[in-house]
């Protein structure tokens, strides 16, 4: 029975993340799941989904870990998330901005393999007064 419940939790968590326009924290996901599973199960499922290349982790400016869907280029071997993550200072949402890729210029002998950009400001939803 545990495997069925865990599989159901995995399916529901992936659906929640895939249908969200913003990255979600574990408490956000737990609130949407209700009583389906506990916090520990959610974290285990999130780790498994990340290892499977289906979601990626973003740590916002407040240190909160958020999760968002992968773009489709990711695999179990490597994630490709060299894009900007926008952190709203008002509503604290984190949004992946896929179409903006910063140009990085490093000194000789430095080799960039991955990077994480967080831009802070006010999102469109909060800027509407």
Share of the chain above pLDDT 90, in %: 37
Share of the chain above pLDDT 70, in %: 84
CATH of the domain at 20: 1.10.10.10
Give the predicted TM-score (pTM) of the model: 0.76
Q: Nearest CA to 25 among 59, 48, 1?
A: 59
Q: Which is higher by pLDDT, 111 or 12?
A: 12
Compute the distance between CA of residue 10 and CA of residue 37 in angstroms, rounded to an integer. 10
Residue 1: predicted pLDDT: 40
pLDDT band at 73 (very low <50, low <70, confident <90, very high): low
Structural domain total, the chain: 1
Domain of 16 in residue numbering reads as 2-127
Contact present, 119 and 87 (Cβ < 8 Å): yes
Q: Give residue-wise pLDDT tens across range 98-121.
A: 776 677 788 999 987 777 788 899
pLDDT band at 47 (very low <50, low <70, confident <90, very high): very high
Q: For the residues 17-34, what does the mean pLDDT come to? A: 93
Q: How many helices (H) and strands (E) does the chain have?
A: 4, 6
Compute the distance between CA of residue 65 and CA of residue 61 in angstroms, rounded to an integer. 10
């Amino acid at each position: 029975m545990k495997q069925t419940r865990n599989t159901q939790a995995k399916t529901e968590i992936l659906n929640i993340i895939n249908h969200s326009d913003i990255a979600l924290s574990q408490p956000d996901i737990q609130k949407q799941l209700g009583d389906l599973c506990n916090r520990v199960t959610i974290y285990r499922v999130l780790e498994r989904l990340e290892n499977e290349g289906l979601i990626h982790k973003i740590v916002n400016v407040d240190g909160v870990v958020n999760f968002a869907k992968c773009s489709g280029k990711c695999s179990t071997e490597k994630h490709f998330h060299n894009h900007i993550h926008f952190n709203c200072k008002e509503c604290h949402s984190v949004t992946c901005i896929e179409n903006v890729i910063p140009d990085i210029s490093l000194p000789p002998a430095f080799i960039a393999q991955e990077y994480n950009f967080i831009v802070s400001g006010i999102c469109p939803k909060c800027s509407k007064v």
